[in-house]
Structure 1
Amino acid sequence: MDRKEGGEKEMQQEQQQEKGGGGGGGGGDGEEEKQTLIIPGLPNDVARLCLACLPFSHHARLKCVSRSWRSALSSRSLFDIRSQWGKGEDLLCVFPEDPSLSPGGLFDPRRCVWSPIHPMPCDPSRYGLSNFGCVALGPTVYVLGGSLFDARTFPMDRPTPSSAVFCYDLVRLSWAPRSPMLTPRGSFACGACGGSTIVVAGGGSRHAQFGVGGSRVSAVERYDSRSDVWEAEKGLPEVRAGCTGFVLGDDFWVMGGYGLYRTVSGVFPVDDYYRDGAVLGLESGQWREILPMWEEGERSRLGQVVVLRKGGDDGASASWAIFMLDGCFIFRLCRFDAVSNKWLKESTLPKKVPSNLSCGFAALNGQLHVMMPSTSHHQKSYTMKLIIQVYNPRKRSWRFLHTKPPFQNPLDFKCAAMCTIHL
């Protein structure tokens, strides 16, 4: 009986040590420390640094190793370590169509790997979202506004602008609604600055399936992600939709787009595209106009514009270069001020893009990426691939990448929304 009682006491002590109870004394603390180690034999600080060096595209698989790995990889402090040690990388976020119907994806250009994004929460009475904007603030992607159809309105064949805002947390892999914009809008300019602020300007209610029509607005708003509050700013000098926006230092640039429309022969409506732009001083709150950037007859509208950033995170040490994709040519903005703004030819695409095919244009890791979809039908199976032409402005050289996106439908860059994420 004594042996039996002694054995029961030992078993109780072992159970208390496994649960982290106080009955085990110093042995319980050592067992608890072993259980919380991320990598056995390494301090947790060193282990987190090791995990921070791993590519983000591998995180989904690595979270299945253990609970401690899942907890460490799902911590925002890990992304702070990546930033401090210069381990950040540029990823491309792509939403091919309505995010609530078709999930998006994250593309790692260095490894040609795609990571899926969960579908956005949907409203059963609204559908067909398009012309929305997406902006990244740290490890968070924001989906803003857009044009959609509402089954509760009449007539149902007219798109209506949306003011809804959703954010996708890349750390927790979950969606959450945020405060809506003050003005519903689609086809607008947007940009991120300071790691916590989003600026939107212009827009309207035009839908991708419709030609000329819908409303145009000149309203401008600024969003603070820390307080989840939208504030109105001084509006654009004129109504402008379908425009491009980006932030350079303390300025928010708005280029191109269209305002009022004109009619051909008094019957057919045609958009009147702008050749100029405007710049908002984020500190002064005042707009200054940009002179026309090309002569009459050079091009009908502004092409896809991206900003290539080099240098530090502060505006003083950072430098920028602005590029535009127009057909099979890449142009560089030689001077970006309110006096002289001219686009100079930078390079020509090695592989020409058919006129009936839409292309994507993005700046990733100091290089320009031109994405062209390519379809093939083999043995009655449909396969969609992306041919990516990568241009290095510093070396003035080209190279090719081939990848297969994880989307069910063909990727149409005229309707798709993209943004660059630095993680």
Structure 2
Amino acid sequence: MNSSPSPSSSSSSSSSESPQQTLIPGLPYDLAALILSFLPYPYHGTLKSICKSWNHFFSSRFYHSIRHKHIPFPKTSHLLCIFPQDPSVCSPYIFDPIHKAWSTLPLMPCNPHVYGLCNFVSVALKTHVYVLGGSLFDTRSFPLDRPSGSSYSFRYSFVTKSWETLPPMLSPRGSFACAAGRDRIVVAGGGSRHTMFGAAGSRLSSVEMFDVGRNEWVGLEGLPRFRAGCVGFMVGGEEEFWVMGGYGESRTILGVFPVDEYYRDAAVMRLENGGGGVGAGKWRSVGDMWEEGERRQLGRIAVVEDGGAGCPGVFMLDKNDIFRYDMNSNRWWKETTLPKRAIDESAVGFVALNGELHVMATHNGAGSVENRRLRRHKRLTSLFIQVYHPGKRIWRTLTAQPPFQQPLDFKTAVMCTIRL
């Protein structure tokens, strides 16, 4: 029995995107489409194999238009994008922490002349995930074992399910600060260091912004000093761009071992919102955020967007403690301690999802007799996640089984979050 669409505006809009086929027998097309639009994104790959009409529906723009119309933005699915390695040779993954569901994204376009991309930045804006810059090796340069910065820019659309090559950044860079908002992406600092090298590589102070509407990069005033390995985020309704931490010059111990000089301060730029949002103001300096000897460098940062009063909650994972940043006092105050201490404090992931902080670590359970018998199975490795709610100040834990062939290395993996 074929169902015909009801004479409504939503039906007319769907006719150009979807063939009028039966989605759920006995239900009008519009009602069935609304029901299916609430199903979690990571299940779409499986759901597409149910029938041709479902495959077409979950592959169409109509699906996203229904969710945008009927689901408030705070209620949309907050998903984690994980890039275990170079996304041109290793598929990125999407993780839904509520349903513990995974799905893969297609490989990023490959350049046959470069390899080993790392230290890139991924950031989400609306229904797109951007992969920007990084450090890599180029077969056309000499010596071959010297990494160079990348200016490549790519964008993945969850609507068209495809990658797009964007105009390159004005300056090649890796390990840089980045934040997105109001149809723009701002990047600052960075360098060309590769993960397998110590304090080698260049440092940058240049700043630029990608205007999504104009599809172009625009240069902005540079940072007060060179800064690589830094983090960035937006504050005050995306009116200020903050750059924290990082390192500048390096020194050597005994004239042999290179050591980075880490920064304890931050820099802030006021962004203009009118006229397409292309302009920006001057940088102002924020003093040292901790005293000498308190810590060597800035830890992993996660930003909870709904921090209240138009200001996000900025949190830092420092070893096994979580600190909250107070902008008024320019200090980090201890918030809580992990219920279960991490074995390797540097090999953990730290992100904010659905207003909660997620501390992630891989666990292979090698201590049990059963797992020792099955030690040849690569997929015994699980993902152990400790979740903290800053508002309620309570902890909970969850365990997920990732689809990776190898354990996830959070020291080199790149992550970002997106709402769909």
**Same fold, TM exceeding 0.5?**
yes
Does 2:270 correspond to 1:278? no
Please list, as runs of the form range in 1=range in 2, the aligned pairs for 1:342-361 lying within 5 A after superposition: 342-355=331-344, 357-361=346-350
Whole-angstrom CA distance in 2 between matches of 1:143 and 1:225: 14
**Identical pairs, percent:** 53
**Corresponding residue number in structure 2 for 1:404:** 401
Please list, as runs of the form range in 1=range in 2, the aligned pairs for 1:184-195 lying within 5 A after superposition: 184-194=172-182
Offset, 1:360: 0.1
**Corresponding residue number in structure 2 for 1:23:** none
Does 2:315 correspond to 1:323? yes
* Cα-to-partner distance string for 1:35-78 (whole Å, 9 max, x where unaligned): 44544444443333222221112222222233333333233443
CA RMSD, Structure 1 to Structure 2 (Å): 2.0
Please list, as runs of the form range in 1=range in 2, the aligned pairs for 1:287-326 lying within 5 A after superposition: 287-310=283-306, 318-326=310-318
Whole-angstrom CA distance in 2 between matches of 1:44 and 1:227: 37
* Cα-to-partner distance string for 1:204-233 (whole Å, 9 max, x where unaligned): 000100000110011111112233211111
Whole-angstrom CA distance in 2 between matches of 1:207 and 1:245: 20
Query: What amino acid sits opposite 2:220 in the alignment?
Result: E
Whole-angstrom CA distance in 1 between matches of 2:107 and 2:363: 25
Does 2:46 correspond to 1:61? yes
Please list, as runs of the form range in 1=range in 2, the aligned pairs for 1:145-156 lying within 5 A after superposition: 145-156=133-144
Does 2:91 correspond to 1:94? no
Does 2:59 correspond to 1:74? yes
**Corresponding residue number in structure 1 for 2:164:** 176
**Corresponding residue number in structure 2 for 1:4:** none
Does 2:256 correspond to 1:256? no
SS in 2 for 1:48: helix
Whole-angstrom CA distance in 1 between matches of 2:242 and 2:89: 32
* Aligned partner (choices 142, 145, 154) of residue 166 of structure 1: 154
* Cα-to-partner distance string for 1:392-417 (whole Å, 9 max, x where unaligned): 11221111111122222221111110
**Corresponding residue number in structure 2 for 1:200:** 187
In structure 2, relative to structure 1, the CA distance for the partners of 1:42 and 1:224 (3 Å cut) is farther
**Corresponding residue number in structure 1 for 2:255:** 266
- Give the number of the structure whose alpha-carbon radius of gyration is greater: 1
- Which moved further from structure 2: 130-139 or 370-379? 370-379
Whole-angstrom CA distance in 2 between matches of 1:34 and 1:129: 41
Query: What amino acid sits opposite 1:221 in the alignment?
Result: E
Whether the aligned pair in 2 keeps the contact of 1:34 and 1:40 (CA below 8 Å) is no
* Aligned partner (choices 116, 137, 150) of residue 104 of structure 2: 116
Whole-angstrom CA distance in 2 between matches of 1:228 and 1:47: 37
Whether the aligned pair in 1 keeps the contact of 2:319 and 2:346 (CA below 8 Å) is no
Whether the aligned pair in 2 keeps the contact of 1:116 and 1:406 (CA below 8 Å) is no
Query: What amino acid sits opposite 2:179 in the alignment?
Result: G
Length-normalised TM-score, structure 1: 0.86
Length-normalised TM-score, structure 2: 0.86
* Aligned partner (choices 231, 246, 254) of residue 233 of structure 2: 246
* Aligned partner (choices 211, 215, 224) of residue 237 of structure 1: 224
Whole-angstrom CA distance in 2 between matches of 1:327 and 1:139: 34
**Corresponding residue number in structure 1 for 2:145:** 157
Whether the aligned pair in 2 keeps the contact of 1:98 and 1:129 (CA below 8 Å) is yes
Whole-angstrom CA distance in 2 between matches of 1:363 and 1:420: 8
Whole-angstrom CA distance in 2 between matches of 1:190 and 1:357: 22
